[in-house]
Homo-oligomer: A and B are copies of this chain.
Amino acid sequence: MVLPYPLALLQRLSIASDTRILLVVLDGIGDVPVDGETPLSAADTPNLDALSREASLGLSTVVAPGITPGSGPGHLSLFGYDPLVYDVGRGVLSALGIDLDLGGEEVAARGNFATFDNDGLVADRRAGRISTALNEELITALKAEISEVEGVAVELHTESEYRFVVRLRGEGLGGEVGDTDPGRVGLARRAAKAQSGDQSDSRTASVLERLSELCAEVLSDVPVAREAEPAVNGVLLRGIGRRPELPRIGDICRLRAGSIAAYPMYRGVSRLVGMECPPIDLEGTGERTPAKLASYRAHSRDYEFLYFHVKKTDSYGEDGDSAKKTEQVEDFDAILPELLEGEPDVVVITGDHSTPVPLRAHSWHPLPVLLWSRLVRPDGRSFTEMDCRGGSLGSLRHLDLLPLAMANAGKLAKFGA
Q: Which residues of A contact B (CB under 8 A)?
A: 5-6, 9, 13, 32-33, 58-59, 63-73, 83-84, 87-90, 93, 110, 183, 238-239, 356, 358-359, 361-366, 374-379, 385-386, 389-396, 400-408, 412-417
| B362-A65 in contact (CB<8A) | no
Do B9 and A362 touch across chains, with their CB atoms under 8 A apart?
no
Q: Is the CB of A68 within 8 A of B415?
A: yes
B400 touches A64 (CB 8 A): yes
- The answer to whether A377 touches B405 (Cβ under 8 A) is no
The answer to whether A359 and B375 touch (CB under 8 A), given A67-B403, A69-B415, is yes
Chain B residues lying within 8 Å of A403, measured Cβ to Cβ, are 64-67, 364
Looking at the complex, which one of B65, B390, B408, B414 makes contact with A389 (CB distance below 8 Å)?
A: B390
Docked complex Cα distance between A120 and B153 (Å): 64
Closest to A405 in B: B66
Contact for A64 among B6, B365, B366, B414, CB less than 8 A: B6
A6 to B334, CA, bound (A): 41
Given contacts A377-B32, A416-B87, A417-B72, contact A64 B395 (CB under 8 A): no
Known A32-B376, A377-B365, A386-B377; judge A70-B416 contact (CB<8 A). yes
Contacting pair B362 A414 (CB below 8 A): yes
A9 close to B416 (CB less than 8 A): no
Q: List 30 A-B contacts (CB under 8 A).
A: A5-B64, A6-B64, A9-B84, A33-B377, A58-B395, A59-B392, A65-B401, A66-B403, A66-B406, A66-B408, A66-B412, A67-B415, A68-B415, A70-B416, A73-B415, A89-B417, A90-B416, A93-B417, A358-B374, A361-B414, A362-B414, A364-B407, A364-B412, A377-B389, A389-B391, A389-B394, A390-B390, A390-B391, A394-B394, A394-B395
Docked CA distance A167–B47 (Å): 58
Please give, as numbers and ranges, the residues of chain B lying within 8 Å of A366 by CB-CB distance. 392, 394
CB A125 to nearest CB in B, in angstroms, measures: 12
Known contacts A59-B392, A358-B374; 9 additional CB pairs below 8 A are: A6-B66, A66-B408, A66-B412, A67-B412, A68-B415, A69-B415, A239-B417, A363-B375, A364-B407
Q: Are A356 and B378 within 8 A (Cβ)?
A: no
Task: Please state if B83 and A416 are interface contacts (CB–CB under 8 Å).
Answer: yes
Contact A416 B88 (CB under 8 A): yes
CB distance from A225 to the nearest CB of B (A): 24
Tell whether, in the assembled complex, residue A416 and residue B69 are in contact, meaning their CB atoms are under 8 Å apart: yes
Contacts of A416 in B (CB 8 A): 69-70, 72-73, 83, 87-88, 90, 239
Q: A375 is contacted by which of B32, B412, B417 (Cβ under 8 Å)?
A: B32
Contact A65 B377 (CB under 8 A): no
